[in-house]
């Protein structure tokens, strides 16, 4: 027993690190070398290593002290990495170069620093107990400082001495190695040099040099904002350039956005905050800062998260990529902010330890339940009913707690939102606010099992539009980020695939799609892009075989419809109109979204009209190989279409171009000239455009009348309700 204790005491850092690495292998995302595992290894092992070094470091001899500290740092790192590398041999492991960067700039630097800190604490304090306490304080204090920075600034990404880089959210799978990490670790090098010299110092001169090196390190950290290691509202405002102050919101936006458009977004924010505050029973609406970024890369550079829109309720901030009015997720993010007023803890979110361990199910479900009028193919109750039909509906205990993250994000959001909306509709707004404030569904006073049974009975009575189950199978096809194969690498490859297709480099697009499918053959969208790239490259036999394979694997109807649509487009582009129409007809027979079906209907109509109308519409819808379409040429083509005998369709298409650029007065004038359009979906979309144009140009009574009429159309009703809320 004594030998066992001695063994554990002697090799505690390595044993702890190995146990951590082995535990991480229970999860596909965390259990391989990458940014997530580097973060956890550095952040969790560093305090243990520093404390052990402080407690057992040799008392005399500079070389012995340094040698022991550095050796134990790397044997500890090796012990943590071994399980991850072994696990990576049995699961998909991609992008090793990037993984090595995160480890090289994370725990490979952080653990030696922690060991040097522990050894320095022992040298200064001499006694084991105080030295261990100091080492723990210095390493854990660094983590506390990172959390404090996360709490006190708009940024979500954190740079740390021991863990390296934390992107702020594991959901932002597009995270790449930040270039600013180089300068951050240059500062760490000065700290390491200062500690080494301090440990080896035998006279005042050496200690003075060590102190100077430490001051250089402090200077690096003091200049962190300029070097991109942290951010501030001032830095973001300088980059964006525009600020507008409203009654309840302050809008931070790109300077090139026209002032009327910015005011429209600001007024919308003011109204949403007021409505949410009233619904949640707040005495007074909070004042909110909304930041609109030009793009996901700019957002990542300025505050840390690129592909994920998010809120910081405790700072009363929402950070989003700019979109057309009405912003599709503004209400969702503002719900997080306003809901934070209900939760009296440090982070303004339900969860344990004052929100430090948040409850993602309640947080996201609450937002979806309140942002009910956001335009989606299926409303959350319909999506949840479809998930029930597919036997994929997450249990209530998961969607109201930490189990939320175990499920695909899209399914978890829909299920949590539907369940909490059911609570709102059954028990009232105040009851849902109480659940959120107390951080538990138990606040209702109804056993969860009983509530879930009632909820599932309710879902069975929800009517589904035609093709809803197939749409749900498509929408919820991707796995949870924690179970996906190589999520960072495939995200990067998908971005490359989109660029290949956008630049018409179809042969390269085929190669990129093949690379993604070699990693994850279940990515339905990439299968569609693969067919598109093959067909656009003129490899029709291969494209048809790829589509046939999708059919044989029983891919969901919407996926097959989109594949057929691309086959039709490439046939039509080459003048094979009848073959293209056959593909479009087959696609229209399958379930798909309203937008996708509308686009197919216009293509089919063009072929049916033939002649000059078909030629013009083909150029409008597909473009021309050597001359990418621009807005000027599109307007020229719409005028030609009107002269060819399609004035209503031409006015609709030209109005669409104007509306996309927020020229709402001009768009409304054109829409007033739109007569009968060839399909019901086109007529519905024209009404949607008209409603938006009426609202944005201040013609509120006309907008109210049109919105009330659209309530009778199930496909437009939720959007109409959203405008009526704004108008009332």
**Domain ranges, ordered by start, for the chain:** 2-227, 234-475, 488-592, 630-728
- Residue 207 and residue 367: Cα distance in Å, rounded? 56
C-alpha 189/C-alpha 183 separation (Å) is 10
Structure tokens at 696: 């944005």
Q: What is the CATH number of domain 630-728?
A: 1.25.40.10
* 597-610 pLDDT, tens digit each: 999 999 999 999 99
SS3 content of the chain, % helix, strand, coil (to 5): 70, 5, 25
**What are the distances in angstroms from CA 678 to CA 669, 682, 698?**
20, 7, 30
pLDDT of residue 62: 62
**Residue 326 C-alpha from the chain's centroid:** 19
Q: Report which secondary-structure segment, H or E, holds 489.
A: helix 487-502
Euclidean distance between CA atoms 485 and 522, whole angstroms: 10
Say how far apart CA 221 and CA 187 lie, in whole Å.
Answer: 7
Tokens of 532: 């598109």
Q: How crowded is residue 506: how many other Cβ atoms within 10 Å of its Cβ?
A: 19
503 vs 490, 494, 517, 579, CA distance in Å?
20, 14, 21, 26
pLDDT of residue 266: 97
- Tell me, what's the pLDDT at 681? 94
Give one DSSP letter per residue of 248-316, joined into a string. Answer: SEEEEEETTS-HHHHHHHHHHHHHHHHHHHHHHT-SSPPPEEEEEESSHHHHHHHHS-SS--EEEGGGT
Number of other residues whose CB lies within 10 A of the CB of residue 701: 9
For the chain, how many residues are written?
728
Neighbours of 542 (CB within 10 A): 16
Q: Which residues neighbour 51 within 8 Å (Cβ) at sequence distance 6 or greater?
A: 118, 132, 135, 136, 139
Is the link from the previous residue into 67 a cis peptide, with omega within 30 of 0?
A: no
Contacts of 11 (CB under 8 A, 6+ apart): none
What's 486's DSSP letter? S
CA nearest to 488, candidates 26, 60, 172: 172
pTM over 0.85: yes
> So what's the pLDDT on residue 441?
92
Are the C-beta atoms of residues 297 and 239 closer than 8 Å to each other? no
pLDDT of residue 61: 64
Residue 526 parent element (H or E): helix 524-536
Q: Check for a shared fold between 234-475 and 488-592.
A: no
Q: CB–CB of 47/140 below 8 Å?
A: yes
Q: What is the pLDDT of residue 569?
A: 95
What is the three-class DSSP state of 241? strand
- Could you tell me the strand order of the sheet in which 317-321 lies? 241-245, 249-254, 288-293, 317-321, 310-312
- What integer pLDDT is reported at residue 481 of this predicted model? 62
pLDDT at 342: 95
Which of 155, 176, 157 is CA-nearest to residue 167? 157
Residue 175 has what pLDDT? 66
At 87 the pLDDT is 86
- CB distance 353 to 291 below 8 Å: no
The CATH architecture assigned to 234-475 reads Orthogonal Bundle (1.10)
Cα-Cα-Cα-Cα dihedral sign, residues 96, 102, 104, 107: negative
- For 549, the token pair is 């394979």
Reported as a single tens digit per residue, the pLDDT across 533-559 is 999 999 999 999 999 999 999 998 899
Question: What pLDDT does 109 receive?
Answer: 94
Query: Which superfamily, per CATH, for 488-592?
Result: Tetratricopeptide repeat domain (1.25.40.10)
Q: Are 159 and 184 in contact (CB under 8 A)?
A: yes
* Blockwise average pLDDT, block size 10, the chain, 728 residues: 71 88 85 85 92 77 75 91 87 73 90 92 87 92 88 90 79 72 93 90 84 93 91 96 97 96 96 96 95 94 85 96 93 96 92 86 95 76 90 92 86 93 95 94 92 95 84 74 71 88 93 91 91 95 95 91 96 94 95 91 95 93 77 86 92 92 92 92 95 94 96 89 90
Q: 314, 151 in Cβ contact below 8 A?
A: yes
Tokens of 262: 């910015």
DSSP state of 323: -
Q: List, in order, residues 6 or more apart from 538 with CB less than 8 Å away.
A: none
Rounded distance between C-alpha atoms, residue 650 and residue 635, angstroms: 9
**Crossing angle of the two packed helices 524-536 and 487-502, in degrees rounded to 10:** 30
């Amino acid at each position: 027993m004594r030998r066992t204790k001695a063994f554990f005491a002697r090799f505690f850092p390595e044993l702890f690190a190995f146990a951590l690495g082995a535990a991480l292998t229970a999860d596909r995302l965390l259990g391989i070398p990458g940014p997530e595992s580097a973060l956890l290894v550095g952040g969790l092992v560093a305090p243990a290593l520093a404390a052990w070094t402080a407690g057992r470091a040799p008392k005399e001899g500079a070389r012995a002290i340094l040698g022991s500290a550095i050796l134990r740092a790397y044997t500890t790192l090796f012990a943590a990495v071994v399980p991850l590398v072994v696990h990576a041999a049995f699961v998909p492991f991609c992008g090793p170069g990037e993984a090595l960067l995160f480890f090289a700039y994370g725990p490979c630097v952080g653990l030696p620093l922690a060991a040097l800190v522990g050894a320095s604490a022992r040298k200064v304090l001499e006694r084991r107990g105080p030295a261990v306490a100091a080492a723990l304080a210095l390493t854990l204090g660094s983590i506390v400082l990172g959390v404090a920075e996360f709490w006190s600034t708009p940024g979500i990404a954190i740079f740390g001495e021991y863990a390296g880089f934390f992107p702020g959210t594991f959901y932002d799978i597009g995270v790449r190695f930040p270039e600013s990490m180089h300068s951050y670790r240059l500062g760490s090098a000065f700290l390491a040099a200062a500690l080494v010299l301090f440990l080896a110092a035998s006279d005042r001169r050496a200690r003075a040099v060590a102190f100077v090196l430490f001051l250089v390190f402090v200077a690096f950290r003091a200049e962190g904002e300029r070097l991109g290691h942290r951010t501030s509202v001032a830095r973001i405002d300088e980059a964006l350039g525009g600020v507008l102050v409203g009654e309840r919101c302050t809008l931070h936006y790109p300077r090139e956005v026209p002032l009327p458009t910015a005011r429209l977004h600001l007024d919308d924010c003011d109204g949403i905050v007021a409505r949410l505050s009233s619904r949640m029973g707040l005495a007074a609406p909070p004042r909110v800062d909304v930041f609109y970024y030009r793009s996901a890369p700019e957002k990542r550079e300025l505050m840390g998260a690129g592909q994920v829109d998010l809120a910081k309720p405790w700072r009363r901030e929402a950070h989003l990529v700019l979109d057309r009015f009405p912003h599709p997720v503004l209400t969702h993010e503002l719900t997080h902010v306003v809901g934070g007023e209900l939760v009296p803890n440090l982070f303004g979110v339900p969860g344990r330890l004052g929100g430090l361990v948040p409850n993602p199910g309640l947080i996201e479900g609450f937002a979806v339940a309140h942002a009910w009028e956001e335009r989606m193919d299926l409303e959350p109750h319909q999506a949840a009913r479809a998930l029930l039909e597919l036997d994929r509906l997450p249990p209530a205990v998961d969607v109201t707690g930490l189990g939320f993250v175990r499920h695909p994000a899209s399914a978890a959001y829909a299920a949590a939102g539907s369940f909490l909306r059911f609570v709102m509709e059954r028990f009232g707004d105040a009851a849902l606010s109480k659940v959120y404030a107390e951080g538990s569904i138990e606040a209702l006073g109804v056993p969860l099992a009983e509530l879930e049974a009632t909820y599932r009975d309710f879902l069975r009575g929800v009517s589904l539009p035609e093709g809803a189950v197939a749409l749900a199978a498509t929408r919820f096809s991707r796995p949870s980020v924690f179970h996906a194969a190589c999520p960072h690498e495939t995200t990067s490859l998908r971005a490359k695939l989109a660029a290949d297709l956008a630049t018409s480099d179809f042969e390269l697009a085929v190669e990129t799609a093949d690379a993604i499918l070699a990693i994850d053959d279940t990515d339905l969208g990439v299968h569609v892009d693969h067919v598109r790239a093959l067909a656009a490259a003129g490899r029709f036999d291969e494209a048809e075989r790829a589509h046939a394979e999708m059919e044989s694997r029983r891919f969901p109807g919407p996926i097959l419809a989109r594949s057929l649509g691309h086959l039709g487009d490439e046939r039509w582009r080459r003048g094979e109109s009848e073959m293209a129409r056959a593909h479009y007809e087959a696609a229209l027979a399958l379930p798909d979204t309203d937008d996708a079906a509308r686009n197919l209907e216009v293509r089919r109509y063009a072929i049916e009209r033939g002649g000059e109308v078909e030629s013009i519409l083909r150029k409008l819808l597909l473009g021309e190989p050597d001359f990418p379409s621009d807005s000027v040429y599109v307007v020229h083509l719409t005028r030609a279409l009107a002269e060819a005998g399609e004035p209503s369709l031409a006015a609709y298409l030209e109005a669409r171009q104007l509306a996309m650029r927020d020229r709402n007065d001009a768009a409304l004038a054109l829409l007033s000239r739109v007569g009968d359009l060839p399909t019901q979906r086109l007529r519905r979309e024209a009404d949607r455009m008209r409603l938006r144009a009426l609202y944005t140009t201040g013609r509120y009574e006309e907008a109210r009348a049109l919105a009330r009429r659209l309530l009778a159309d199930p496909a437009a009703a939720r959007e109409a309700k959203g405008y009526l809320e704004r108008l009332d």
